[in-house]
């Protein structure tokens, strides 16, 4: 029996990192690994899988190196480092139980041996305890619970069981060379990442894969999978079955070590102290089992736990970064600042310490002096600001200094309208006195809004009042709005849903927060589109003012969010703010004029509908080609290729045409870009001018390409070099879309010639004036105004 200072159970990222730190610290140690190789879980990742070093902002503090890369490269670096440091592994050593206490633990192994240790680090993770099928035949040799290398199998019939990311990724990879059926217990793949969901649905749609929905596995036979489906029993012939059913904490083992779980729930995790110590003194729990499932977190904890064991007081790995973050805030320390955020900012009051730290890491602290501008009206930034100290002024007009303004004090937030609508800033904001602000990026806020209900509720409550104030009753003080705001409700509409119909009684008004709507009316037998109304405007006011039934139908052109104000509340608002009545009257007249023009030529309505449908509904800038002027010279494509490494980002000929208006395949720079929604390295950005572009951080995963509903993103090697005018004259075909080329591929898309003076090359290079770029708000003007 051997005796060590530290015994580490498990050699995944946490265990390996702990072993490496113990070796550096000169502690006698052993890393007990159940299988015959270290980090077996990572070894069993799908071959070539791209391993991400997440969370990106957390610094790595470990003896083990780690950066984004293929699983093979990551592992090779780990093992080389472990060997260099002399980490002492003991393989094929499955732990069956741990007894004793600090200073004298006895670890029993499956082979009957025992290891004595002064302290124990439990780093077994979850993946060592994969959920398995519990049906007759589950132990047959052709049933697997992991997939190492999909290329090992060819021309087989394979059933993949599970509706999560792992099973989708496996199924897609296997479908390259096999006949694959994916078995889903539910009727959709909603649990998966959206890119995976769209990829699997596309594969099913195109027939590359079969699917069984609402199917439960009831038995496995040597060459058949037996399912229970709503239509009865189904038998799927297959030579191989891969079941990806997730993993759970190895509760039996952990309990056998004396560690307690707080609840009976299957996925419950043991409770540990801030030093990772469990209820058993001297027994520490780190990694996924301790609630930190990401590789980088596990590596950091492996390091930290050894420091705790030797009695070193380590601060969290992110502390130096946080210190640097708040260096702009003189006189603050990290803990004090975090405390101030939590106590002063109501929307963040309920964030737990970990989420708050993470949020801080992604945010920026700014210190502004009196009168300094935070952002200007029409800037295309979309972060959210909170006031930690001091106050800011929201300018309600463009005067400098403003004639009308609103003050926001400590704890308030602002910038939410840009965040929610995806449109330009609608007001300038400046500091009053010395103001300390925290700027939280859009992506972080979206995550927080989605995952922490209190953030969403607190934000919405405030944002509704402000929307009413800024869009309906500017100049009215908040006290006169709060009761109306409290009664207003937020509604979500999916594309095509009707907000209200012609002929109905007008009982409410909708303020559009996000998305846009189409206004239609029956004229004769035709359903004519009368208008297109975007976020930041209201609809439904006419019937409220006139008291007559609705005179048009309003439906969501894109997914929408509206604030609904009831008739009585609206009337109260008009009583308090008589200007509103005048303004509504003006809006009504302007709309009536458009209605009259549109009613004269219903074709224009159809054109608007077409343009809205082709992206106008969510675009901030859309490239159109007037086919009455386009001579097909493709100079637009050549110009695009000539200024973007030889790859054109627009396909002139592709795309639909209606009434001489052609919408080529080219980026719409959406308000809420679909491409941005699932970019692992956060490589897709939005510039001040609204341009959505991809940075060099792109890892070539292709998520954005799959997520784009307009098919405008290509995967290509962007290092093809640019051509001068002479080369393009002699070389000819510079404008062809990128074909397969050597080197790693990255996503490429239109960046609206962000770095080129004079604006988009496609439009500048069009000899006849056929190519134009328009903002959707100009669609009505484009269609009804002449000039065509």
Partner 1 sequence: MSAAPLHSGFLTHKRMMFAWLALLLVLAVAAAWYWQEMLPPSAVDLGFSYGLGTLALVIMLWLTWFGVRKRSYAKGAGRLKAWLSAHVYLGLSLVFLVPLHGGFTIAPDIHGIAYVLVLVTVFTGLFGVAFYGFYPRRVTANREGLTFDAMLKRIAEIDIELRGLSTQLSEAANNIVRREAESGRIGGGVGILFARPINKARRARQALLRLNLDSDAGNRAAALLESKAAVVDRLQRDIQMRSRLRAWLLLHVPLSLATLAAVIAHAAGMLMFGLGSV
Could you list the residues that contact partner 1 (CB under 8 A)?
Answer: 626-633, 635, 638-640, 642-643, 653-654, 656-657, 660, 662, 722, 725-726, 728-729, 756, 758, 761, 763-770, 772, 774, 778, 781-782, 785-788
Least distance CB 726 / partner 1 (angstroms):
8
Cβ neighbours of residue 594 closer than 8 Å, sequence gap 6 or more: 530, 531, 780, 784
Least distance CB 737 / partner 1 (angstroms):
12
Q: Which is nearer to partner 1, 78 or 693 (CB)?
A: 693
Strand partners, 437: 366, 387
What's the order of all strands across the beta sheet hosting 179-183? 143-144, 240-243, 157-161, 179-183, 209-212
Least distance CB 630 / partner 1 (angstroms):
5
Task: Give DSSP secondary structure letters for 284-334.
Answer: EE-GGGGT--SHHHHHHHHHHHHHHHTT--PPPTTHHHHHHHGGGSTT--H
Least distance CB 662 / partner 1 (angstroms):
8
Q: Which is nearer to partner 1, 13 or 642 (CB)?
A: 642
Burial of 368 (0-12, 13-18, 19+ CB in 10 A): buried
3-state secondary structure 113-181: CEEEEEEEEECCCCCCCECCCCCCCCCCCCEECCCCCHHHCCCCEEEEECCCHHHHHHHHHHCCCCEEE
Least distance CB 772 / partner 1 (angstroms):
4
Least distance CB 754 / partner 1 (angstroms):
12
Strand partners, 527: 522
Q: Which is nearer to partner 1, 135 or 633 (CB)?
A: 633
Least distance CB 763 / partner 1 (angstroms):
7
Q: Which is nearer to partner 1, 721 or 758 (CB)?
A: 758
Least distance CB 604 / partner 1 (angstroms):
14
Q: Which is nearer to partner 1, 55 or 632 (CB)?
A: 632
Q: Which is nearer to partner 1, 256 or 633 (CB)?
A: 633
Strands 240-243 and 143-144: what pairing?
parallel
Separation of alpha carbons 154 and 754, rounded Å: 46
Calculate the CA dihedral of residues 478, 480, 485, 488 and round it to 10 degrees: -160
Q: Which is nearer to partner 1, 170 or 728 (CB)?
A: 728
Strands 69-70 and 114-122: what pairing?
unpaired
Q: Which is nearer to partner 1, 401 or 769 (CB)?
A: 769
Least distance CB 424 / partner 1 (angstroms):
19
Q: Which is nearer to partner 1, 246 or 645 (CB)?
A: 645
Q: Which is nearer to partner 1, 226 or 659 (CB)?
A: 659
Least distance CB 628 / partner 1 (angstroms):
5
Least distance CB 734 / partner 1 (angstroms):
9
Q: Tokens 């894109």 sit at which residue? A: 558
Q: Which is nearer to partner 1, 633 or 697 (CB)?
A: 633
Least distance CB 684 / partner 1 (angstroms):
23
The answer to whether residues 66 and 74 touch, using CB atoms and an 8 Å cutoff, is yes
Burial of 622 (0-12, 13-18, 19+ CB in 10 A): buried
Angle between helices 453-471 and 442-451 (to 10 degrees): 120
Query: What does the DSSP 8-state code read for residue 347?
Result: G
92: which 2 tokens? 């094929």
In 3D, which of 609, 612, 495, 509 has the Cα closest to residue 555? Answer: 495
Separation of alpha carbons 577 and 468, rounded Å: 12
35: which 2 tokens? 């299988």
Task: Give DSSP secondary structure letters for 665-728.
Answer: B-----SS-TGGGG-TT--EEE-TTS-EEE-TT-----HHHHH-TT---EEE---S----HHHH
Q: Which is nearer to partner 1, 371 or 759 (CB)?
A: 759
Strand partners, 368: 435
Separation of alpha carbons 306 and 103, rounded Å: 15
Q: Which is nearer to partner 1, 14 or 630 (CB)?
A: 630
Least distance CB 167 / partner 1 (angstroms):
36
Q: Which is nearer to partner 1, 566 or 778 (CB)?
A: 778
Q: Which is nearer to partner 1, 479 or 757 (CB)?
A: 757
| Helices within 63-129 (DSSP H only) | 71-85
Least distance CB 520 / partner 1 (angstroms):
24
Separation of alpha carbons 129 and 541, rounded Å: 60
Least distance CB 648 / partner 1 (angstroms):
11
Cβ neighbours of residue 76 closer than 8 Å, sequence gap 6 or more: none
The answer to whether residues 731 and 723 touch, using CB atoms and an 8 Å cutoff, is yes
CA 205 from chain center: how many Å? 25
């Amino acid at each position: 029996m051997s005796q060590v200072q530290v015994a580490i159970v498990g050699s995944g990222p946490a265990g390996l990192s702990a072993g490496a730190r113990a070796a550096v610290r000169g502690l006698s140690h052993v890393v007990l690994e159940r299988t015959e190789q270290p980090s077996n879980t990572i070894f069993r990742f799908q071959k070539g899988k791209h391993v991400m070093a997440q969370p990106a902002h957390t610094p790595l503090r470990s003896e083990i190196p780690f950066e984004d890369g293929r699983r093979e490269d990551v592992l090779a670096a780990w093992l080389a480092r472990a060997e260099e440091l002399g980490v002492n592994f003991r393989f094929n050593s499955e732990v069956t139980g741990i007894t004793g206490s600090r200073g004298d633990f006895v670890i029993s192994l499956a082979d009957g041996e025992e290891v004595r240790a002064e302290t124990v680090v439990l780093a077994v993770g979850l993946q060592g305890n994969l959920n398995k099928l519990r049906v007759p035949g589950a132990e047959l040799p052709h049933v697997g619970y992991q997939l190492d290398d999909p290329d090992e199998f060819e021309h087989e019939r394979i059933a993949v069981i599970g509706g999560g990311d792992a099973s989708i990724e496996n199924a897609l990879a296997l479908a390259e060379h096999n006949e694959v059926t994916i078995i889903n217990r539910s009727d959709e793949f909603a649990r998966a990442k959206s890119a995976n969901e769209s990829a699997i649905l596309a594969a099913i749609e195109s027939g590359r894969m079969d699917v069984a929905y609402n199917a439960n596995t009831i038995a496995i036979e040597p060459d058949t999978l037996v399912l229970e489906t709503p239509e009865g029993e189904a038998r799927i012939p297959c030579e191989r079955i891969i079941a990806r059913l997730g993993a759970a904490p190895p509760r039996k083992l952990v309990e056998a070590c004396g560690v307690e779980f707080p609840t009976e729930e299957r996925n419950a995790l043991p409770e540990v102290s801030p030093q990772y110590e469990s209820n058993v003194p001297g027994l520490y729990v780190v990694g996924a089992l301790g609630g930190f499932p990401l590789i980088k977190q596990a590596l950091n904890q492996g390091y930290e736990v050894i420091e705790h064991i030797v009695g070193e007081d380590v601060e969290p790995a992110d502390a130096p970064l946080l210190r640097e973050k708040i260096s702009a805030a003189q006189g603050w320390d990290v803990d004090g600042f975090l405390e101030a955020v939590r106590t002063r900012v109501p929307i963040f009051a309920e964030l737990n310490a970990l989420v708050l730290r993470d949020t801080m890491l992604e945010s920026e602290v700014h210190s502004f002096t009196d009168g300094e501008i935070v952002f200007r009206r029409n800037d295309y930034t979309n972060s959210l600001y909170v006031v930690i100290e001091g106050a800011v002024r929201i300018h309600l007009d463009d005067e400098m200094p403003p004639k009308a303004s609103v003050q926001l004090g400590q704890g308030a937030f602002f910038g939410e309208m840009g965040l929610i609508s995806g449109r330009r800033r609608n007001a300038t904001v400046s500091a009053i006195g010395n103001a300390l602000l925290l700027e939280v990026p859009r992506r972080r806020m979206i995550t927080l809004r989605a995952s922490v209900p209190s953030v969403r509720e607190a934000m919405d409550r405030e944002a509704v009042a402000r929307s009413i104030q800024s869009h309906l009753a500017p100049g009215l003080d908040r006290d006169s709005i709060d009761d109306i705001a409290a009664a207003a409700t937020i509604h979500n509409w999916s594309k095509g849903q009707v907000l209200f119909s012609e002929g109905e009684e007008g009982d409410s008004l909708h303020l559009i927060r996000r998305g846009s709507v189409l206004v239609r009316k029956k004229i004769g037998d035709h359903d004519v589109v009368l208008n297109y109304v975007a976020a930041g405007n209201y609809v439904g006011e006419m019937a409220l003012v006139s008291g007559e039934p609705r005179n048009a139908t309003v439906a969501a052109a894109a997914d929408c969010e509206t604030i609904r104000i009831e008739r009585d509340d609206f009337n109260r608002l008009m009583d308090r703010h008589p200007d509103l009545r005048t303004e509504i009257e003006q809006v009504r007249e302007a709309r009536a004029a458009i209605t009259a023009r549109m009613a004269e030529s219903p074709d224009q309505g159809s054109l608007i509908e077409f343009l809205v449908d082709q992206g106008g509904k969510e675009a901030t800038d859309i490239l159109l080609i007037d086919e009455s002027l386009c001579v097909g010279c493709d100079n637009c494509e050549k110009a695009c290729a000539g200024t973007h490494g030889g790859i054109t980002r627009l396909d002139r000929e592709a795309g639909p045409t209606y009434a001489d208006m052609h919408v080529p395949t080219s980026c719409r720079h959406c308000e809420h870009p679909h491409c941005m929604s699932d970019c692992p390295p956060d490589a897709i950005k939005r510039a001040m001018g609204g341009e959505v572009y991809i940075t060099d951080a792109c890892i070539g995963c292709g998520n954005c390409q799959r997520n784009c509903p307009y098919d405008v993103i290509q995967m290509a090697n962007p290092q093809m070099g640019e051509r001068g005018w002479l080369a393009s004259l002699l070389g000819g075909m510079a404008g062809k879309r990128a074909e397969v080329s050597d080197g790693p591929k990255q996503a490429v898309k239109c960046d609206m010639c962000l770095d080129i003076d004079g604006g988009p090359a496609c439009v500048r290079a069009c000899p006849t004036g056929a190519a134009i770029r328009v903002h959707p708000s100009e669609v009505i003007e484009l269609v009804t105004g002449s000039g065509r």
